[in-house]
Structures are given as structure tokens and as C-alpha cells.
Amino acid sequence: MKIAILASGSGSLAQAIIDAQKSGLLDLEILALVSDRESQAIARATHEGIPTKYLPMSENRETWNTDLIKFLSGLNPNLVVSVGFMRVLSRDFVEKFPTINTHPALLPNFPGAHGVRDAISAGVRKTGATVHWVDSGIDTGKVIVQKEVDVLPEDDETSLHERIKIVERALIVETLRHFIANGIPGRI
């Protein structure tokens, strides 16, 4: 399986995929990591010898969408893996590339950029991590797998998010292992 990774932040989820691939746990080829920011994710991929593409958001969103699609079309991935990529992907993009995403909440609860903060604000006792198909909505695609994480009384956004990230890293690797063993399923 050939994948492209989309990441905007620290790259810890991307690193989990890279480490699993390097250790032989994931039999896949990482074609490139794309980031819309000069991020630690790009630095991690560069350090590991993985090609990178810095594609900052332009004032013209359509141009950015076209550039992203053109770049990934040249790579021809079997799957795009969004891990901490903080951009909504266009309908054209998700129709062209099967794309999965990790999210730090139990979808459909707490979609969007602040899932951890929203869970704490809501006072829930359990939240978690989700791997889901990406559609043109915001965290509205079909859920692939989820795992609960307890919200502890002493949790703040940072401590809870760190515990959720541990679960997210395991879930994304588990999902990719499943896809490698059984094929990439349909999104519906």
C-alpha cells in the first residue's frame, strides 16, 4: 500500500506511522508528507528521509485545492492519511483520494478543531479517539474505529489531549494494519 500523509502540527501521529513502517509493523510506502505550515511534522519526515511538500494556504482557496490535488495525483497514493491536518478538504479532493483522519473525540460528538476542549467544557466523563473517513464536511465521515478515554477530574485540555494522542497513535497504526491485511474498504 502506498500512502501520503497530511499533517499540520507536531507530527507525533505521523511519527507513529513512520516508526511502525520502519519497524516492519506496517508494510507500506510513505510517498510524501504534505503540510500547510512549516511544522514539526515536516522536520520529522525530512529527518526520516521521507519526501515533503510545504503547501501553505493561499488567499485563493481554489488554487490551493488544485495545487494539493495536482501534487498528490503525481504520487498516486492508494490512501491519504490525515493526522493533525487542520484544513477541510474539498469535495473534489475526497472524491479523488480515499482519505482517513484521526480525531481526538468520539465522533459524532465534539467535531471540529477543539474536540478536547469541547469535551471538557461539556463535562463528559468519557471521550476518546476516532479514525474516520473524510468527506467534505467537518468530521462527518463514516467512523472506522473508536476507543474511549476516561476524562479524569484533574484533567485540563493539555493533559487529556496527551492521553488521547497515545490512543490516536495506536488506532491509526491499527487501522493501517487492517487495511494492509484486508484491503482498503469502501467509504460508505
CATH code of 95's domain = 3.40.50.170
Residue 187: inside a domain, yes or no?
no
Residue 138: inside a domain, yes or no?
yes
Which one of 103, 114, 161, 178 is the catalytic residue?
103
pLDDT at residue number 56: 94
Whether 67 and 90 have beta carbons less than 8 Å apart is answered as: no
In the chain, the number of structural domains is 1
State yes or no: pLDDT of 188 exceeds 60.
no
CA angle 175, 31, 134 (to 5 degrees): 45
| Domain of 135, in residue numbers | 2-182
pLDDT at residue number 51: 98
Q: H or E segment at 143?
A: strand 143-150
**Helices 157-182 and 115-122 sit at what angle, rounded to 10 degrees?**
120
End-to-end CA distance of the chain: 21
Residue 76: inside a domain, yes or no?
yes
Per-residue pLDDT tens for 59-98? 889 999 999 999 999 999 999 999 999 899 999 999 999 9
Our answer to whether residue 103 is catalytic in this structure is: yes
pLDDT band at residue 117, thresholds of 50, 70 and 90? very high
Residue 188: inside a domain, yes or no?
no
